[in-house]
Structure formats: C-alpha cells, structure tokens
Amino acid sequence: MKVNNAPVLRPAHPEPRPLLEFATHFAVTTIGDVSGLSTTGATVSSVDVRPGELFIALHGVARQGPQFGARRHGAEFADQAVANGAIAIVTDTMGLALARYSGLPIFVMDNPRRHVAEIASWAFGNDGRMPLMLGVTGTNGKTSTVHLQHEILSALGRTNALSSSARRIVADTEVTAKLSTPEASELHAIVAYGRERGVEAMCLEVSVQAIIHGRSAGFVFDVAGFTNLQLDHREDFASMDDYLRAKATMFQNGTARRAVVSLDTVAGRTVAELADCPVTTIATPEIAEDRALAESAQWIARMTAERVNATAFTLDGPDGQHVESKVPALGAHMVANAAMAIVMLVEAGIPWDDIVRVIDGRIPGFLPGRTQLVSTGRGPVVYIDFAHTSDAIAMTAAAVRRVTPGKVIVIFGADGSRDGTKRPIMGRAASANSDVAIVSDYNPRWEDPDVIRAQLYEGAAETPPAGGLFDIADPEEAIDKAVSLAVDGDAILWCGPGHQDFLDVRGTRVAYDFPQLSLDALRRHGWE
C-alpha cells in the first residue's frame, strides 16, 4: 500500500530571527529563558515542526479521525514537537498548562489562532516582502482558475507560485496538496521559499474553510476573485446566506485591494455590493442563473465551440478588449474560469496586449482532473473530473453530452466527513444528466461508505436514468461495469477523483491511479 505524504515547502536558507525580538514584537508573556535563541520558521503542526522552528499550539476542532468534531488542543502534542526539534512554543493559557513541562520556552498570548499568519510572516521573514497575491474563492472553479493563471503567467515568462487543492508549485518545484488552502504557517513557508526562487506572483485557491478557520487571515490580496456560490458546505453553515457572508469577508476590511466578481450566480451581485474595494464584474451569460444580470457585467465571455479536449470562447472587455481563445477543458463553466483568470491578471496590472500574445488561439498548458481526457482512439471516451457538487456534476455531464454522439455514463461518489445533505441532490443531478449512473466509493474518510452511497443512491433513484442505476462500492469494479455497458461513440464521465491519486480511508491515503484503472478496463473489454 502506497501512502501519499506531501512535504511542506520551506526556504532552504532561512534567516534566523531572535526570540527576544519575537517577545517584544508581539508583546507576549514569556515563560523560560530565550536569551541567545533564534527561530527559522513556524508551524501549527507538531508533526511538521523542523529543527529551530516555533510550534504554534492552537485550540481547535479536529475535523478528521475517530474524534471527529471533538475539541483538541495542539499543546497536547508538545512532546512530539519537542522530539522534532521545536525551539519554543506559542500558545494560550490553556496550552501553557498542557505544555508547561515540555522543557521549551513558552510564549503565551490571547487567541493565537488570530495571529498565526502574523507570527509565520515574522518567523519566515515575509513581513513587508510579499509577491503579487492573487486569491480565488467560490464554490466551484477555484482550482481551474488558479491553474490557468499559473499557465498564463508562466507563458509570459514570469516566475510564479501556485497553491490549489491539486498541487503546490513554486517555480519548478511541485508537491501534492494536502488541504485546498494550506494553514497560514504553511502558506508563509511557501512564500518564503518562493522569495528564494525569485517568485513574482502567487496564485492561491482560498476555500471557505480557510476563511472561517483563519488560514488566509493576515493576507492582503492584490486581486481577489469570486467565481460562484452553489450548494455545498452545509456542515459548516446553517444557511446559504451564512455561507455567502463567509465568502464575502474576503472582499472586506482591507483583505483585497481589487476584486473581480462573476455574476454567473446571483450571489455575485451581493459580493460586489458588500466589497469595500474596487470591483470589476465578469459573466458567461449562457450558464448564468440570471441572464439579464450576467449581460450587465463589464467583461463578457461567450462559448463559441466545444471539442472533446477544449472549448473555444471569446472575451470582450469594457474598453474594447477582445480575444478569441480556447480553454484546455470541456464546457461553458470552464470558459467562465478562464475569463476569471484572465481578467484578474488584467486587474493586477499585466498589459492586455501581453496577455493576448500568449492566449490568442489557445490558453497554454492543461488542467489536472478537469474533464481530463484519458482515452483516445476507437471505443468509448473516458473523462475524469473533480466534480463534487450537484451543480458541477450537472454542468460537466451536460458539456460531455454536447460532444458525445452516444450514451453518457456517469460514475460518481461523495466525500465522507463532509456535508451529507447535498448527497441526494448530487444523486438527482447524476441521474438527470446521464443515460446510466453508477454510485461508487470516493474518499469515505471516517464515515461508513455504505451510508454515503445509500444517500447518493436515494436521490438518484427518484428518477433513475433509462439505462440503469447501479451501486458498486469498489472503484475498479465501477469503471469496469461502465466500460462493459459502453460502445464506440459513448462517453464515461468519472466524477470525483479529478487530479487526486488516492482515496482517503480512515485517515490513510490509499493510492489509486484513476486514469490507469480506466485504461485497464478499456483493454479488458477489447478497446485499444
């Protein structure tokens, strides 16, 4: 069994900073002697501590594991931080009681969670030395948008960094992501590493969990983007209004210098109204909830053609800007993501003519796990996609149907230890947009996978597709069944895996190569 353990990128040559300076700068109570001691970084993870770093011990919610929902304190793991070489501990009064006998100096402050970004910025030497910061939030499209920004910036010859739910990339270094948005301490480590590598811009996916749990606290985005608001994350919010208000805080209180807001969902209008920075609006009217609202946007993107591996579009701006290009993925929703990426770069001050030079005809690069074509030649076409909400499944399956002469077979699953209320709705979306639907396991985490599939199946069974509805737990058996039902001209859309090469089962990342499983199934059934 292979387990994915992605390292946290850090500067190779950090500049030590005296702990006496830390005590003064943050006006904290100091327990123990810090004379002559210096630090080279900071982290909130006792597992991730490197020799010479500060361990920031926080009181928070354990979202994973058998203690799901239980409140734990990071100071409980002080011994592990000591063993890994921590130089000192930063915590609150509760943490002081837990870590007092660790043998390390302890800095005590009220609510250290609010100060993680500031502490990490100081420890890694980022204070006052940040690259161009581009942050994207919204329910769907965040990952695609930041990857498109990364590809465009790279084509322009600009050294940049990317942090998404798929990957962390700094210059030519790449690691697998662990969270959609890293903890503030990890993010500042990436920024410091980027400064060593000459990074000029950072493209950051900002999840709503990052906003409400303070992972993005303390960062000021030169340009922040809002893609859309759709059903998701009901485990964190009592209502969609609460979810929207949480997203909107990224555009308030000086968090963003400029904003680009999509009007494809009506929530965009609310975000634009609540923002306290200059706002530029964009839209893709053909997929908008309110067509009239979308047509009022300053920038308009329109899909002009679809192929199995690309979507052509035009983008027009308020000052006569016009470009014709293709996004390397399928669907009008991908056109919306491309428009967001491009207009955010314009708002960041990159000349329009330079952008057009590299995207005219086609945006370079590819999007990992976004309607990713994994089969070619004779036989059914197989796509792998990260769709994990009802809207994403519906839009992606509809896009696949538009370029498919035959049947559309959808395989789908849902994350465990996440919002369970959306699962029947996902099932309905899969059934409504397929000829055959197959429910399968995907990242059960600490939940019973049978329960997850039952909730998905319940929604799908309300109006099952004409070609059949199946419950097949094992992903390999699910793709095999899909291929067995397919003929030349059909398409199989595997929703969920996307870029990921693992399943999360009770805290263990079990390796799965979803593209290879697809190719193996095709070969078993005689397709080359």
Band (pLDDT 50/70/90 cuts) for residue 181 is low
DSSP 414-482: --SSS-STTHHHHHHHHHHT-SEEEE-----BTS-HHHHHHHHHHHHTTS--TT-EEE--SHHHHHHHH
pLDDT of residue 267 exceeding 60, the answer is: yes
User: What is the pLDDT, as a whole number, of residue 366?
Assistant: 77
CATH of domain 372-524: 3.90.190.20
Which of 258-267, 294-303, 409-418 has the lowest average pLDDT? 409-418
Span 72-112, pLDDT tens digits: 899 999 999 999 999 999 999 999 999 999 999 999 999 89
pLDDT of residue 451 exceeding 90, the answer is: yes
Band (pLDDT 50/70/90 cuts) for residue 309 is confident
pLDDT of residue 6 exceeding 70, the answer is: no
Q: Hey, where are the domains in the chain? A: 17-123, 132-158+200-359, 372-524
CB atoms within 10 A of CB 424: 19
Give the separation between CA 3 and CA 328, rounded to whole angstroms: 30
Give the separation between CA 528 and CA 519, rounded to whole angstroms: 8
Q: Which two tokens stand for residue 317?
A: 């701006």
User: What is the pLDDT, as a whole number, of residue 3?
Assistant: 31
For 17-123, the fitting CATH number among 3.40.1390.10, 3.30.470.30, 3.40.50.300, 1.10.132.20 is 3.40.1390.10
DSSP symbol at 241: H
Give the separation between CA 381 and CA 306, rounded to whole angstroms: 15
For 132-158+200-359, the fitting CATH number among 3.30.950.10, 3.40.50.2300, 1.10.443.10, 3.40.1190.10 is 3.40.1190.10
